[in-house]
Amino acid sequence: SPFFVFLHMGNRMKRSTQKESGNASRENASVSRREAYEKQFVATVARFAEPLCTSEGMELVHIEYRRETGGRVLRLYIDKPGGVKLDDCVAISRELSDILDARADASEPYRLEVSSPGADRPLGKLEDFERFAGSKIKLRTRSAIASRKNFTGVLKAVVDHRIELEIDGKPVAIEYDNISQARLVAEI
């Protein structure tokens, strides 16, 4: 399926001027605060983006907020039956940009990207894992399981907030809350 990206720079953003220094505990506290802020910011964006997408007949698939080479990126993946078009991405980007500029407080400037999920669609909600049972996925955990964090296998089921995979013919169960990111593996 086609992959579209529409970019917009957030307008009313404040730049953080805090400098980090000192010992490891202070750095860890700073990382925890940053992770908490990022999680809260994504939840705020979702609160505005979800009803907007629904009103336009689309599904909000996933939201990412991360630091990349060019700075902070707020990336939304949207989908609809028959797939999204460039005009869909542009419409959501424009409307959401206006809403976020007026109602969401970001601590750093960011670039807004809205695109289709593509063949390597991100999986974020439990419903996504249930929906794509039988598909090959790749996921990364927050904490190691048997000395590893990266897993690729066939998604078998979701049972009691555990994602059950089959990896090289062996079953592996991973707690949903331990998953930091997951995607479908594009079969070519």
- Please report the pLDDT score of residue 34 as a whole number: 78
Among 128, 124, 53, residue whose Cα is nearest residue 88: 53
Integer-rounded Cα radius of gyration of the chain: 18
- Please report the pLDDT score of residue 14 as a whole number: 40
Query: In which band, very low, low, confident or very high, does the pLDDT at 152 lie, cut at 50, 70 and 90?
Result: very high
pTM: 0.74
- Please report the pLDDT score of residue 48 as a whole number: 95
Q: Measured in whole angstroms, how far is the alpha carbon of residue 127 from the centre of its chain?
A: 15
What is the spatial distance between Cα 165 and Cα 34, in angstroms, rounded to a whole number? Answer: 31
- Please report the pLDDT score of residue 8 as a whole number: 53
Write out pLDDT tens, residues 58-72: 999 999 998 898 889
Residues 113/7, Cβ–Cβ less than 8 Å: yes
**Confidence check: pLDDT of 182 > 90:** yes
Residues 159/172, Cβ–Cβ less than 8 Å: no
Residue with more model confidence, 186 or 180: 180
Write out pLDDT tens, residues 72-93: 999 999 999 999 999 999 999 9
- Please report the pLDDT score of residue 10 as a whole number: 52
Interior/surface letters 18-55, b for 16+ CB within 10 angstroms, e for the rest: eeeeeeeeeeeeeeeeeeeebeebbeebbebbeebbee
